[in-house]
Amino acid sequence: MEEIHYKSIGEISDLIREKKISSLDLVLYHLDRIKQLDSHLKSYATLMSEQAILRAKKLDQEINQGHYRGSLHGVPIAVKDLCFTRGIRTMGGSSVFIDNVPEYDATIVELFYKAGAVILGKLNLTEGAITYYNPKFQIPENPWKPNYWSGASSSGSGSATAAGLAFGTIGTDTGGSIRHPSAVCGTVGLKPTWGRVSRFGVMDLAPSLDHVGPMTRTSVDAGIILQVISGFDPKDKTSLPNQVPDMLSKSQLGVKGMKIGYDENYTFEDMDEDFARSVHDGVKLLEKSGAKIISISMPKNLKDYINAWSIICSSEAAVIHSATFPSRSKEYGPFLRNWLQNGLNYSAKDYSEANFLRNKCTGELNFLMHNLDVIACPSTAKAAYPVKKEELYGLPKRDPWLGRFTVPTDYAGLPTISLPSGLNKEGLPLSIQFIGHYLSEPTLIQVGCTFEKIANFNELHPPI
């Protein structure tokens, strides 16, 4: 069992199918590992130990009877605590919902169960999935260094994936919260096309911006999970009716002849040299593998476009929380309380003008990608950095410019993949992001697999 927690889902599924290891053994091993490490990592909000053990036993019986469900059969995973789980509380990082016990599963949870996955538990996050934490909840640690930023909203998902506390996790991304934790925790994050994955039963932040996607340790693993959770859902009217392709169909094709757009100024401006250099070097590696690098220029009005995000997000969040805010405002943490109040204060004119800017940004991005296969850029604006609890529980000033690599694609609903691109001088993860066309997830996985083969940064793990 040594280091089995860092094996890929593909490797684990082979072992399970061939009966070389049981799902029960894996579950018990991971529960023990969580017990050993999560007292300081604090990635899990709720462990589902009893349910996971019973389910693993059932899935092992199915294997013995010749019934194999697929690549996730018997594989331990975990979901962000925004995803409804029947009979298990779903708190969304907020004391307002601390006693919220759903009577049904989110669609993605249903799909995981159908595929044979074992859910180990629910993962911690920022309150309401926006930036900072409720004082009554624990803050996930970055497994690479104690008291360092673990990536905002899907922080528990990033921490658990990087530390080998699950073979894959679910994150959500409204302004970057699949990509930020994936980047600073050194994992792969795949933000699908908006609507590719059903949001039914997933607590909203801002519905027009919210994406649900996998966080894993390899691009193939991200594809395996995305394959399972994608597709039209009649319970989510915004889910896409498009046929779900084979997500791994291009994984072995390489990048020869692929056109990759790259704005060097965008990568290096206001960035630490080693972070920007890792992205630049990553692009050059793909060029040596046969890709054609096309010089591009990101929109000049990017700051104005990004500043509109807070108006859109907070206005939609205020509507989503209208049943509990402002009536229970004292139960909210300082940041989300202020965020929701701001949302109530914005006018219809403010919201409309912000959406006009969003649409302009989307138009410019789509035009920029017209003759490209993907765009390369950093996944986040900075590597992990030291944080203090009082800051993350308080009301610090939020810098919109930190979302310059993530917000535009949430505006446009375009898919992205984030990949480890090395370590900085402090030994902390760096990350490169590739932006794809609408519904082009197989192409992003293709790029990710190629990058992993030539760089091997996904094989780096935190020193825990």
Distance CA 400, CA 404 (A): 8
The one catalytic residue among 7, 80, 145, 191: 80
pLDDT of residue 275: 98
The one catalytic residue among 71, 177, 314, 421: 177
Distance CA 74, CA 63 (A): 9
pLDDT of residue 396: 84
Domains (range + CATH), the chain: 4-459 (3.90.1300.10)
Using CA atoms, how far residue 381 sits from 114, 268, 342, in Å, is 38, 10, 25
- For the question of residue 250 being annotated catalytic, the response is no
Print pLDDT tens along the chain (464 aa): 678 999 999 999 999 999 999 999 999 999 999 999 999 999 999 999 999 999 999 999 999 999 999 999 999 999 999 999 999 999 999 999 999 999 999 999 999 999 999 999 999 999 999 999 999 999 999 999 999 999 989 999 999 999 999 999 999 999 999 999 999 999 999 999 999 999 999 999 999 999 999 999 999 999 999 999 999 999 999 999 999 999 999 999 999 999 999 999 999 999 999 999 999 999 999 999 999 999 999 999 999 999 999 999 999 999 999 999 999 999 999 999 999 999 999 999 999 999 999 999 999 999 999 999 999 999 999 999 999 988 899 988 889 999 999 999 999 999 999 999 999 999 999 999 999 999 999 999 999 999 999 999 999 999 98
Q: Count Cβ atoms within 10 A of the Cβ of residue 99 and give its class: 0-12 exposed, 13-18 middle, 19 or more buried.
A: exposed
Tokens standing for 287? 């060029």
pLDDT of residue 464: 86
- For the question of residue 153 being annotated catalytic, the response is yes
DSSP 253-316: S--TT-EEEE-HHHHHTTS-HHHHHHHHHHHHHHHHTTPEEEE----TTHHHHHHTHHHHHHHH
∠ CA 131-159-331, nearest 5°, is: 40
The one catalytic residue among 13, 22, 150, 153: 153
Tokens standing for 108? 């993605």
Distance CA 178, CA 190 (A): 7
pLDDT of residue 45: 98
**Which amino acid does the sequence have at 395?**
L
Distance CA 427, CA 135 (A): 30
Tokens standing for 421? 């691109």
- For the question of residue 177 being annotated catalytic, the response is yes
Render the burial of 347-364: b for 16+ CB within 10 Å, e for the rest.
eeeebeebbebbebbbeb
pLDDT of residue 398: 86
Q: Mention every residue, 6+ apart, whose C-beta is less than 8 A from residue 210.
A: 172, 173, 174, 194, 199, 202, 204
